[in-house]
Structure 1
Amino acid sequence: MRTIKKILLSFLLIPAVLLSPMTAVANETSVSPYLMDMIDVRLSENSEENETHVNNIISRLNRIDQRILENVSQSGVTIILSDLPMTEFPEFSNLKGVVPRGHTDTWDNIPGLGGFQSYVRVGASEPGIKNNHGDVNLELHEFGHIVDSFLVDGMTISNEEEFVQIHAEEYEKMFPGQPYFKYVEEYFAESFAYYYLSQDTRNILSSRAPKTAAFLENMHRKVFTITDVKSDGFSLSWDDYSGEYYNVIVNGSVVHRTQDLTAVVDGLEPSTLYEVAVEVRDKNDNVIDKTYVESIYTTAKANVETDRLSALLVEVGKVPESNITPELREAKKEAASILQRIVNEDISQEEVDDATANLSDAYQIFQPRIMEKNIQGEENTFTSETSHVKTMPKHMTWIVILSVSVVLILLAIVYLYYSGREED
Structure 2
Amino acid sequence: MDAERGLLALMGSGETSPTMVTLHRELVAHLEPEPGAVVLETPYAFQVNRDDISSRARDYFRRSVGLVTSVAPEAADATWGDSDGVRDRVRRAAWVFSGPGSPSYALERWAARGMDEVLVERVRRGYGVTVMASAAACTTGFAALPVYEVYKAGHAPAWLDGLDMFGALGLPVAVIPHYDNAEGGTHDTRFCYLGEPRLSALEKELPAESAVLGIDEHTALIIDLDSSAARVWGRGVLTVRRRGVSTLIPAGTSFTLDVLRGLVSGEEGAHTARPQPGSADPSLVEQPAGDAPATLEEVVNDLEGRFDAAREKRDARRMTEFVLALEAAIAEWGADMEEDQGGGEWARTVLRGLVRQLTAPAQQGMLEPERSLGRVLAPLLEYRRRLRAQGAYGQADELRDVLARGGVEVRDTGGAGLWLLSDAPPRPSRE
More helix by share: 1
Query: Quick one: higher RCO (CA 8 Å, sep 6+), 1 or 2?
Result: 1
Scaled to the shorter chain, the TM-score interval is: under 0.3
Return the TM-score normalized by structure 2.
Answer: 0.27
* TM-score, L = length of structure 1: 0.28
